[in-house]
Amino acid sequence: MTGGSGQIGSELKYLEKKSNFNFLFPSSSEFDLLDFASIENYFNSNKLNLVINLAAYTDVENSEIEKNKANIINNLAVKKISQETKKRNIILIHSSTDYVFGKENNAPYAAYDKKQPINYYGYTKSMGEEAALKENHRSIIIRFASVYSKYGRNFIKTIIKKLINEPVVKVVSDQKISLTHALDFSRNIFSLIRFCQNLNFENEKRIYHFVSKEYATWFSVAEIIFDEINNINKGFLKSELIPISSDEWNSKVNRPKDTRLKIDDSFYKENNMIVSSLEISIRSVVKEVFLEILNNELKNDY
């Protein structure tokens, strides 16, 4: 599993301890996406049955600056991984993003809708999808959107810190989004592996969306965060939450106004995959993160 230090990888590392599966989580020095010899050496040195590629260059704004790096990690390295897995007849699960869409406003997007990214990050991820599907016929694409968890950097943790530390917190209210709870995906990983092991790659779909069934905006998510902190510690927050338009938000890169992803209910049901309620899972992450912040502050007082 590449990208083991990310949000989903962190959840899977914890889950692996309770399973019979043997996961390998190579470090970036062992499996360097910027060094194709490193990728090939890792495949030569390890006997693998399946590869889950979660690694990506995800900094949307810096992708416009570090274009070469973004393209290598999100596209060319995916091509190399796909070629190496094909040589060994290994199944590849490659992760992608809702940002492969966005130019045409016809969301929510189904898995095989026309892709039209509007920034370089989305373009490189779209090209990576094509490479995975073309270079390894035993590959599938799983698209995520706005991943969140108690690990790493994400919107929920950013807003919690802003609400605690800033008197006014402005959040975009006119971008429609889907979200992926990292814990949800990790809980369903074994069902997904079994699905891939039984999949007829020649005759069945190879692109799937893994997001909550409910849709949101960034501001509606921020409202849930604000409310949950107040439920935990009423009166703690002194900040004001203010909705703004995407035009008012200072960004160096074009971002889609609507990248909601449509899910295939039959895919979930036939594989016994359970995805939690969007609001419930957001509140659970807020509670974990906020209580950890409070505990750390109390420790620092003594």
Question: Which residues of the chain have a pLDDT value below 70?
Answer: 16-18, 297-302
65 domain-assigned:
yes
Name the residue range of residue 37's domain: 7-300
* Whole-number percent of the chain with pLDDT over 70: 97
DSSP assignment of 93-105, as one string? Answer: EEEEEGGG--SS-
1 domain-assigned:
no
8 Cβ contact list (under 8 Å, min separation 6): 54, 95, 144, 147, 149, 182, 185, 186
The whole-number pLDDT of residue 302 equals 39
The whole-number pLDDT of residue 203 equals 81
Kindly report the CATH number assigned to the domain that includes residue 157.
Answer: 3.40.50.720
For residues 147 and 212, the answer to whether their CB atoms sit within 8 Å is no
The whole-number pLDDT of residue 125 equals 98
Count up the domains in the chain and report the number. 1
The per-residue pLDDT for range 92-151, each reduced to its tens digit, is 999 999 999 998 878 999 999 999 999 999 999 999 999 999 999 999 999 999 999 999
For residues 139 and 93, the answer to whether their CB atoms sit within 8 Å is yes
pTM to 2 decimal places: 0.94
93 domain-assigned:
yes
271 domain-assigned:
yes
30 domain-assigned:
yes
2 domain-assigned:
no
31 domain-assigned:
yes
